[in-house]
């Protein structure tokens, strides 16, 4: 099935303008269920209910509030919030270019493909230049009443726009408490290195899938076909050891056993 554009914009690189179409680069495959009444199996619906009177409240009668201290809320009107929304625009402004790798992976959030919108020459010229120079652009744009910061990158010859998280959303590693205990011994480090080498391989994303979703869908298909689901016996995990050397040795032995069975 051909990808469908979800938004149109114009990339601005200095005085160069590149009309583009935006496509989602990821898709959600989460399992979603319908909620049914236990007795009559009819769909149920969620309602807004007053915590004081238990009365069902229509959405039109709801107001938004923000908690600032315990028991104290600031009421906000719809019109007040609408006045704060960014001005609608189709411009994707590139504010600067940085080297690939300068943006830490923690900042990347959601990826979109950009396709040319009657701008083939300009589009592929920008893509080729980014790939040759090994750069990515820092972009700002407004889409559907929300402002975004993102990275303009190249992926397999096509432009890609990845939304970035804001500075106050990133937690620095130094916020973590350093573990206490004795320093690692040379033998323990060497064994850990051997374990890493034993597991070294090329990354193959096709090997990874949502196993829970797969099992749920298999259950659904089995029951839809009128068949009896298979019962999977629970196997408890082996007790873990607190000894680093023993744990590493067990892991290495397991890896060698697997390698031997494959060979």
List, for residues 13-25, the tens digit of each pLDDT value: 999 999 999 999 9
User: Looking at residue 108, what is its pLDDT?
Assistant: 96
225: helix, coil or strand? coil
Pairing of strands 108-116, 16-24: antiparallel
Same domain, 100 and 161: yes
192: helix, coil or strand? helix
Give CA 116 to chain center in angstroms. 25
* b/e 120-132 (16+ beta carbons within 10 angstroms → b): eebbeebbeebee
User: Looking at residue 153, what is its pLDDT?
Assistant: 96
- Domain membership of residue 67 (yes or no) is no
Same domain, 165 and 190: no
CA distance 253 to 263: 15
**What is the arithmetic mean of pLDDT over 39-43?**
94
- CATH number, domain of 114, equals 2.40.290.10
Cα–Cα nearest to 159, from 135, 133, 132, 127: 127
Whether pLDDT at 237 is above 80: no
**Based on the structure, what is the number of domains in the chain?**
2
Question: What CA–CA distances, in Å, run from 137 to 26, 119, 122, 128, 152?
Answer: 21, 19, 16, 13, 5
How is residue 78 written in tokens? 């719809």
Full-model pTM: 0.78
Same domain, 99 and 225: no
Contact 35, 47 (CB under 8 A): no
Q: What is the pLDDT of residues 185-221, one digit of tens each?
A: 888 888 889 888 888 889 898 888 889 899 999 999 9
Whether pLDDT at 244 is above 80: no
- Domain membership of residue 18 (yes or no) is yes
Query: Which range of residues forms the domain containing residue 251?
Result: 186-231+241-262
């Amino acid at each position: 099935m051909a990808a469908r554009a979800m938004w149109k914009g114009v990339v601005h690189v200095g005085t160069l303008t590149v009309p583009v179409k935006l496509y989602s680069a990821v898709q959600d495959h989460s399992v979603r269920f319908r909620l049914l009444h236990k007795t009559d199996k009819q769909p149920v619906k969620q309602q807004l209910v007053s915590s004081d009177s238990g009365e069902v409240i229509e959405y039109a009668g709801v107001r938004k509030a923000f908690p600032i201290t315990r028991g104290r809320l600031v009421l906000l009107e719809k019109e007040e919030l609408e006045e704060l929304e960014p001005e609608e625009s189709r411009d994707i402004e590139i504010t600067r270019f940085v080297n690939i790798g300068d943006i830490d992976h923690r900042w990347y959030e959601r990826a979109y493909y950009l396709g040319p919108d009657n701008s083939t020459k300009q589009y592929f010229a920008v893509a080729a230049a980014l790939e040759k120079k090994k750069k990515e652009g820092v972009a700002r744009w407004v889409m559907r009443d929300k402002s975004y910061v993102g990275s303009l990158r190249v992926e397999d010859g096509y432009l890609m726009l990845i939304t970035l998280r804001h500075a106050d959303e990133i937690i620095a590693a130094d916020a973590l408490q350093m573990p206490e205990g004795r320093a690692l011994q040379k033998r323990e480090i060497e064994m850990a290195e051997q374990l890493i080498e034993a597991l070294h391989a090329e990354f193959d994303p096709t090997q990874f899938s949502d196993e829970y979703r797969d099992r749920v869908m298999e259950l659904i298909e089995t029951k839809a076909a009128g068949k009896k689901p298979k019962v999977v016996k629970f196997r408890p995990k082996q007790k873990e050891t607190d000894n680093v050397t023993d744990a590493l040795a067990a892991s290495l032995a397991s890896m060698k056993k697997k390698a031997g069975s494959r060979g």
